Amino acid sequence: QKEVEQNSGPLSVPEGAIASLNCTYSDRGSQSFFWYRQYSGKSPELIMFIYSNGDKEDGRFTAQLNKASQYVSLLIRDSQPSDSATYLCAVRVADKLIFGTGTRLQVFP
């Protein structure tokens, strides 16, 4: 079983819609959870991190964590074509950050 799993996509949503990206992880001891955005050919950039169960909002982005279900999600409201990218979920295990393979999001006008 992979440590961090994501659906590879692509997830296609129309402009203005809510995009929902999901991630599951296997290590129950994980304490910190991250979402990165990666444009083609570029390095990943941090969007949000979350530690506690529940929701964390930052602008159009909301991260949701459910430790009992070992589930992390990212909601993007009012999706824009500029949000089209690959979204990487990452989980901190001890001193290491373990990544999923990413979900490709396509926002069409």
8 A C-beta contact, residue 63 and residue 3: no
8 A C-beta contact, residue 1 and residue 26: yes
Size of the site for other proteins (CB under 8 A): 21
Distances (CA, A) of 100 to 78, 90, 109: 25, 6, 28
Q: Which is nearer to other proteins, 18 or 46 (CB)?
A: 46
Q: Which is nearer to other proteins, 60 or 92 (CB)?
A: 92
Q: Please provide the size of the chain in residues.
A: 109
Considering only residues 49 through 108, tell me which ones interact with other proteins, judged by CB under 8 A.
49, 88, 90, 92, 95-102
**Which SS3 state, helix, strand or coil, does residue 7 take?**
coil
Structure tokens at 53: 């169960």
How many CB atoms are located within 10 Å of the residue 101 CB? 13
Beta carbon of residue 99, minimum distance to other proteins (angstroms, whole number):
4
Q: Which is nearer to other proteins, 3 or 71 (CB)?
A: 3
Considering only residues 14 through 43, tell me which ones interact with other proteins, judged by CB under 8 A.
31-32, 34, 41-43
Which residues bind to other proteins, rule: CB under 8 A? Answer: 31-32, 34, 41-46, 49, 88, 90, 92, 95-102
